[in-house]
Structure 1
Amino acid sequence: MLFPFSDFIFLCFFFYSGYSLLRDPHHNKGLAFTDKERAAHYLRGLLPPAVVSQELQVKKLMHIIRQYQVPLQKYMAMMDLQESNEKLFYKLLIDNVEEMLPIVYTPTVGEACQKYGSIFGRPQGLYISLKEKGCIHEVLRNWPEKNIEVIVVTDGERILGLGDLGCQGMGIPVGKLALYTALGGVRPSACLPVTIDVGTNNENLLNDEYYIGLRQRRATGQEYAELLHEFMSAVKQTYGEKVLIQFEDFANHNAFDLLAKYSATHLVFNDDIQGTASVVLAGLVAALKVVGGTLADHTFLFLGAGEAGTGIAELIALEISKQTNMPVEETRKKVWLVDSKGLIVSSRRESLQHFKKPWAHEHEPVKTLLDAVNDIKPTVLIGTSGVGKTFTKEVIEAMASFNEKPIILSLSNPTSQSECTAEEAYTWSQGRAIFASGSPFAPFEYEGKTFMPGQANNAYIFPGLGLGLIMSGAIRVHDDMLLAACE
C-alpha cells in the first residue's frame, strides 16, 4: 500500500509542478518551451503544439501594444506581461527600451500611480504599513526571494510632481526596479519593491472607494521615525550590510533627514537628491562641448529648492571644487536658487530650511524668476519646481538675450509639470537653446532645422550606479562615486 501511495504523490507533485510552472512568472517561457522541455517539465498538453521563439513572441506583443492609443493601456499590458512571463517582459523591454521606457517609467508611471487602486490586480512588492509595526522582520521573511541585493522604497508622499499618492506610490519602486534589470543587468529575483504606508493626506484618495492603502492622515514625528527605523534595521538584519536601499519620492522634510541619518550606517542612495543630481551634472558636462568653457565659467540659476534642486546644486559645486581645488563653500557662490518666496539670499537665512541655507548668498531680495534671471544673468537655467509653465516666454527670451546658447533644463515630471516644453524653449530662443527635460518630448522642427530634445532621465545613472555598488561590494555611497558616474 505504501509504495503505490507514494508513487501517486510523486506523480501528483510533477503534474502540479508542470501546471504551476506556466503560472510562475519567474520561470514561465510560454510557447518558447521546446518539445524536450515540455516533456521534462510535465507540460505536454498544457500548451498548444507550436513552439514559438522568444523573438517572435516579442514581435507579436509589440504589435499588440502599439495598437493601444492610451499610454496607460500599454502600461497595464506591460505589467500583465511582467506578472505572467518575466523573461519575455525583460526581452521586450531591453529590445525596445527607447520606445517602452516612457511606458514603464516616466511619464506614464505617474498616471498609473494616480489610478493604481482602479487598475490594481496582482500585488507587486511588499506593503509595510503601520499595522506591521513591531513585526517588520517577519514581513520581510514573507517575501519568497531571500538573496535581495537592491530595495527601492517609497512612502508615496511626493510621487514625481503629483504630490501625495500614499500607498499607490508602489508603481514607482516597481518601475525603477524593472530598469535595474533592463538597463543594469541586476537579476529580477534580487530586486525588492517596498511601499511604506503611513497614511495619506490626499483627501481624494481617502474618499476613493478603490484606494488600497490605510485610510488615515499621514503619521509624522516619532511614530513615523520609529516605523522607518524598524524597517531599516530589519532590512540590514535580513539581507546584510551590502543590500542597496534606494529612497524614492519621499517629501523634502523626510528625504534629507533619512539620507543624513542612514548614510553612515547603511548602503543608501536617494535617487531624487543624488540620482537627479548625477544625471543633470552629466548633461551639463556634455553641454560644455557645445557652449564651451568649464563648469567654473558658468553661472547656474534654479527654479525649485527642494531635494532635486539642492542635490543638483551641491553636486555641481563639488565638481567645480574638484576641478579647481577651490573650497566648496566658495564654488557654491556660482549657484543661485529661487523658491516659492523668491531668490534665496542671506537676509532670508533665519527663516530657511537647513538644506537651503548653504545657497543664501549676498544679494538684494528678488521676488520673481524673471527678475532673478535679469539680475543674475545665468548661463544655465534649471527647473526642479514641480510646477508647469513657469519658464515663460519672457524668461526664455531673457536667457537668450545675454547667452548665445542658453542651457535650459526643465526637469519636473510628468510632462504636465514641465517648466516649459521643447517647442517653447526652441521657439522663444530662436533655436539657440540647449534643451533637456525630465520627461520625453518629440523632435521639433524650427526654421528648417530639426531639434532632438535631450532627456535628463535618472535611468541613465541609477541602474549602473546600483550595479557598480553591488559588484564592488560597497557598504556606503560616497560623493566621489556620484562624480565618477557623472563622468
Structure 2
Amino acid sequence: VENQTKKKRHNKNRMSPSFSLILSLSRLFPFLQGMAFSLQERQILGLQGLLPPKIESQDIQASVTTTKTLPRYIYLMGIQERNEKLFYRVLMEDIEELMPIVYTPTVEPLPVVQAVVVTDGERILGLGDLGVFGMGIPVGKLCLYTACAGIRPERCLPVVIDVGTDNEALLKDPFYMGLYQKRDRSQLYDDLIDEFMEAVVEKYGQDTLIQFEDFGNHNAFRLMRKYREKYCTFNDDIQGTAAVALAGLLAAQRAIGKPITEHRVLFCGAGEAALGIANLITMSMVEKGLTQDEARKKIWMFDKDGLLVKGRAQETDSNQEAFVHESPGDVQSFLDAVNVIQPTAIIGVSGAGRLFTHDVLKKMGTLNKRPIIFALSNPTTKAECTAEDAYTLTDGRCLFASGSPFDTVTLADGRVFTPGQGNNAYIFPGVALAVILSGVRHISDTVFLEAAKTLADQLTDEELAEGRLYPPLSNIREVSVQMAVKVVRFVYANNMAFRYPEPKDKDTFVRSTVWDINYDSFLPDIYEWKGMNPVQSKLKTF
C-alpha cells in the first residue's frame, strides 16, 4: 500500500493511456451504439480495432432475439447498459411482449447442485481465523471434487458463512470484505447454521452433500453430531483426515507384518484431527476382534498441556474423554511419553512445528524395528519433523507419511525413499462421488472405514518398497474412481443407498458419470474422415 501511495504521488499529474481510453469512452457513453459505429466514426473517435470489424445497423441489432425468457432478459439488460437507444427501440417496438420481461425480474432454475462445501473461516489450515477470506478453501476443495473424482463443476457450490472474525489484523484492514465484528458465538450462530442447512436441502434436495471444512474445534464436533443423522453431511477435517491416516497405518502393517490390533499409537495433538483418526483406528481394531475399551487403551494423546490422563490440572473436553487414561508415570515432555508408553506409531497433528525432535525419532528407532512416523500437520513448516530427519535418524527403517509434500530422501548409503503424503484428497472426492451417485442420506463412519481400506489396497508392493504409504498423487483420478466404485458397492450392500434401481455393474456406472475434460465433438455420427486430417475435413465441409 505504501509503495502504491508513493507511485500515486509521483504520477499524480500523469495519466496512463489505458485510463485515458476509459475516460474517453465514458464521455461517449450516452452515444455508444455498439457495432453500429461507421468506419469514419471509429477512426475519428479512436475506436478502430477496439470493436469487431463488422458494422451493424440498428435494424440488424434490433433483430437479435430468442424465444427463451431468461436469455432475452439478459440480452435486454445488457444492451440497456451498453446501448440505450437500441434498448428503447427494441422495447418500444414489442412493448406488449417485452414489458413483463423487463418489468418483472426474470429467473430460471439454476443447475442442480449436488455438493456444497461450507466454512465459517475460523480455522484455516496453517493460517487460523481468516473470516470471509477463507472462501478460497471451499473453492479449492470443490476444484478437487472435479479434478480428482470427475464431479461436474456446475453442480458444486462453495459457501462461506460470515459471522465475523477474531483476527485483529483483519478487523483493522480496510480491504477486508467481511463483517467488522468479533465472531458471534451466541445462539444466533447456531440459528444461522440451522437456517443454512434447511435452505440447502429445500433448494437442492435431501440428498445434497454438505461438507464442513475448517470450522473451529468447539464447533466442528458438535455440528457433526447435530447434523449427521439429519442431513447428508461430513466433516473432512475429522472424518476425511481419519480415513487417510488409517489408510497409511493399514499400508504400514503390510510392510511390518503386524496387525493393527497389536499397535500402540501416541498422538501429538488432541484436536479434531487426532480424535477423528483415533476413533477410526478404534473402529478398525474392533472390526479385527478387539472390544472398544481394549482398542481405546492402545491410543494415547499428548497436547499442549501434556498427556491426557485422569486427574490432570487442565480440563479435557467431552470429545477427548474416551482417550483419557490412568497416568502411566511421570511424563513432562513428548519424549517422556515416548519413553513410557513405547508406541509403535506416533502421529503428529498438532500444527505446532518440529515436536518430533531428534531424540524422539532416535528413540522410536530404538523401540521399533520399523517405527511408524506420521508428521501430518500442514503446511510443511508446521510438520512435526522432516522426511529427511525421519529416515536419517531411524537408519531408513521408518514408515513415514506427512501432510505436506517432501522431496525424496537419499541416505548416505545410496538408498532412496519416496515419502508418502497423507493428503485428504485421496479420500473426500471419491467418497463424495459415491455418496452423490448412490443417493446416501446419512454418511456413517463405516463409509470412511471402507474408504481407508480401499485406499490402502490400491498401494502396490513396488510402491510400498519405495517407501510410499499411498499411491502416487499423479494417479489420484483413478484412485478416486476406484474408491467411488468400492464405496458405491458398500452403501448398496448395507442399505445406505436411496437411489434405485441399483446399478448392476457398479464400475461401468461410476465411470459413465465422470466428467470429461475433453472437448465434445460437434460432427455428426455418420461423418467420415476419408483419410484427411481434422482441419482439412472441417474446411471441406464448409
TM-score by length of 1: 0.71
Q: 3-state SS of the aligned residue for 2:437?
A: helix
- Report the residue type matching 2:64 in the other structure: L
Superposition pairs of residues 213-232 of structure 1, within 5 angstroms: 213-232=178-197
The number of equivalent residue pairs is 361
> How far 1:163 moved relative to its partner?
1.1
1:160 matched to 2:90? The reply is no
1:11 matched to 2:61? The reply is no
Superposition pairs of residues 444-459 of structure 1, within 5 angstroms: 444-447=409-412, 448-459=414-425
- Report the residue type matching 2:310 in the other structure: S
Whether the 8 Å contact between 2:151 and 2:433 is mirrored in structure 1 is: yes
Q: 3-state SS of the aligned residue for 1:289?
A: helix
Q: 3-state SS of the aligned residue for 1:193?
A: strand
Q: 3-state SS of the aligned residue for 2:149?
A: coil
* Map of 1:307 onto structure 2: 272
> How far 1:368 moved relative to its partner?
1.2
* Map of 1:439 onto structure 2: 404
The ranges of structure 1 where at least 4 consecutive aligned residues each deviate by more than 3 angstroms after the TM superposition are 4-10, 141-146
- Report the residue type matching 2:349 in the other structure: T
- Report the residue type matching 1:476 in the other structure: H
> How far 1:444 moved relative to its partner?
1.3
1:469 matched to 2:435? The reply is yes
> How far 1:11 moved relative to its partner?
2.5
What is the aligned-residue RMSD (CA, Å)? 2.4
Distance 1:224 1:434 in 2: 43
Q: 3-state SS of the aligned residue for 1:346?
A: coil
1:366 matched to 2:331? The reply is yes
Q: Give the unaligned 5+ runs of structure 2.
A: 1-56, 76-105, 454-542
Quick one: structure 1 residues 212 and 397, their matched pair in 2 at CA, closer, same or farther if it must change by over 3 Å? same
* Map of 2:217 onto structure 1: 252
Distance 1:234 1:306 in 2: 30
Whether the 8 Å contact between 1:301 and 1:382 is mirrored in structure 2 is: yes
- Report the residue type matching 1:207 in the other structure: K
TM-score by length of 2: 0.64
> How far 1:422 moved relative to its partner?
0.8
Whether the 8 Å contact between 1:343 and 1:365 is mirrored in structure 2 is: no
> How far 1:216 moved relative to its partner?
1.1
Deviations 1:314-340 (A, max 9, x none): 00011100111x321221111111111
- Report the residue type matching 1:396 in the other structure: L
> How far 1:211 moved relative to its partner?
1.7
Q: 3-state SS of the aligned residue for 2:224?
A: helix
> How far 1:430 moved relative to its partner?
1.9
Q: 3-state SS of the aligned residue for 1:210?
A: coil
Q: Give the unaligned 5+ runs of structure 1.
A: 22-140
Deviations 1:19-50 (A, max 9, x none): x99xxxxxxxxxxxxxxxxxxxxxxxxxxxxx
1:396 matched to 2:361? The reply is yes
Q: Percent identity?
A: 51
Q: 3-state SS of the aligned residue for 2:176?
A: coil
Deviations 1:374-414 (A, max 9, x none): 00000100000011111111111111111111111000111
- Report the residue type matching 2:200 in the other structure: V
Distance 2:245 2:379 in 1: 17
Quick one: structure 1 residues 405 and 218, their matched pair in 2 at CA, closer, same or farther if it must change by over 3 Å? same
* Map of 1:338 onto structure 2: 302
Whether the 8 Å contact between 1:146 and 1:239 is mirrored in structure 2 is: no
Quick one: structure 1 residues 174 and 400, their matched pair in 2 at CA, closer, same or farther if it must change by over 3 Å? same
- Report the residue type matching 1:478 in the other structure: S
Distance 1:10 1:432 in 2: 76
Whether the 8 Å contact between 2:114 and 2:208 is mirrored in structure 1 is: yes
Whether the 8 Å contact between 2:305 and 2:314 is mirrored in structure 1 is: no
Distance 1:228 1:182 in 2: 29
Superposition pairs of residues 291-330 of structure 1, within 5 angstroms: 291-324=256-289, 326-330=290-294
Superposition pairs of residues 139-288 of structure 1, within 5 angstroms: 145-288=110-253
> How far 1:283 moved relative to its partner?
0.9
Quick one: structure 1 residues 10 and 428, their matched pair in 2 at CA, closer, same or farther if it must change by over 3 Å? farther
Distance 1:445 1:331 in 2: 37
Deviations 1:177-206 (A, max 9, x none): 001001111100110000011111111111
Whether the 8 Å contact between 1:349 and 1:360 is mirrored in structure 2 is: no
- Report the residue type matching 1:297 in the other structure: E
* Map of 2:390 onto structure 1: 425
Distance 1:349 1:480 in 2: 35
Q: 3-state SS of the aligned residue for 2:117?
A: strand
> How far 1:8 moved relative to its partner?
4.7
- Report the residue type matching 1:340 in the other structure: K
Distance 2:58 2:66 in 1: 12
My pick for the range that moved more, 273-282 or 425-434, is 425-434
Distance 1:191 1:405 in 2: 42
